[in-house]
Structure 1
């Protein structure tokens, strides 16, 4: 498993846009550890999993929202970033999981639901898919 900062996560127009990944927010570090174990049991390799360790989640997300393009305000990306800011303020832990197919993202979404994740979003080229109801 690797460690990333929010600054290292790909963006588009100043918004988070890690295409080909699922971004998951978990309530705390213990939930994160249990979820990582479940991912690995489900066949997701450690190389596919990155822990996002922002220097200051609220500060970094706030900066990204402030720097986002005016055009981004019309898309779902800015809505997601504002959700992430709220979750960061609540102290959530973050994982970014590389997926090769939509089926993999759906499996991760099911695991996220069972592990009571606060958010799980699959980033595709043109659309972001919320994996939790």
Structure 2
């Protein structure tokens, strides 16, 4: 049985509330495993233990540690979006996108200390930012 889409009802905007983002970053919460798209306004995950936002340069994010910063290749997303809008019932390799976890050393991601992970889930170093982030050596 093939899925038939009459109208997607989805309208994606190039900017949000007048802010033009030069990148799209997502924040992964290590507590509740929620993934949240970041905006210039502070946003939190489902459990509220992780938060993040874009700085005024619309490229650098501030977010809590422990957590992950996920980057998406914007040209890939734009091409996938256009391809989907043109043919929402057809698979195409163009619908795939590159995504990655930004390393702690990434210059356009600033980590701040958040709530540590509960002991039963914590890895030895999971509940504090790496020395490169926190300024400790």
Greater RCO, 1 or 2 (C-alpha within 8 Å, sep 6+): 1
- TM range, normalised to the smaller chain? under 0.3
Larger radius of gyration: 2
Scaled by the length of structure 1, what TM-score is found?
0.25
Scaled by the length of structure 2, what TM-score is found?
0.25
**Higher percent of residues as helix:** 1
